[in-house]
Amino acid sequence: MKKIIIVDDSESYRSRVKRDLESNGYQVVEAVNGENGFTVCKSNKDCAAILVDMNMPGMDGIRMISFLRQEEGLKKTPVLIITTESSPEQKAQAKALGVIAWIQKPISGKALVKALNKLL
């Protein structure tokens, strides 16, 4: 079973994504913001992918990913950004950090599972 980490400050969004992923055979670990996400990722280096929101209180998604890319065992872990943002500057920063997909919210559970299956 592939482990996916969801880093998003919206509890309702995390719950929905968790339900959708678990019902399709994924194991899900949740993190409530960037700081927590970094800690959770360091404790779950065996994850198959990390889903990250851009805008979170404290540490935003880009900053969290930049810390992940310095962490042994997480440097090449696939990261997908799922956000309402669409700034070309943010997309360029994400691409430079090796983010493999930028997905606009809202996204259906079915479409997210399909994207993950394709990428993994």
118 part of a folded domain: no
Segments of the chain with pLDDT less than 70:
none
108 part of a folded domain: yes
Whether the predicted model's global pTM rises above the 0.85 cut: yes
32 part of a folded domain: yes
Residue 69 buriedness (CB in 10 A; 0-12 / 13-18 / 19+): middle
* Residue 35 domain boundaries: 3-112
Residue with token string 């994400």: 94
117 part of a folded domain: no
120 part of a folded domain: no
- Identify the bridge partners of residue 103 per DSSP, sorted by sequence position: 82
Mean pLDDT of the chain: 94
Report yes or no: 48 and 29 within 8 Å, Cβ to Cβ.
no
Query: What's residue 21's pLDDT?
Result: 96
C-alpha 23/C-alpha 113 separation (Å) is 10
C-alpha 49/C-alpha 105 separation (Å) is 18
Query: What's residue 97's pLDDT?
Result: 94
Query: How many separate domains does the chain show?
Result: 1
Query: What's residue 38's pLDDT?
Result: 98
Residue with token string 């079915």: 110
Distances (CA, A) of 61 to 8, 13, 19, 20, 85: 9, 16, 22, 22, 11
39 part of a folded domain: yes
Q: What is the DSSP letter of 77?
A: -
47 part of a folded domain: yes
C-alpha 70/C-alpha 110 separation (Å) is 32
* CATH number of the domain bearing residue 69: 3.40.50.2300
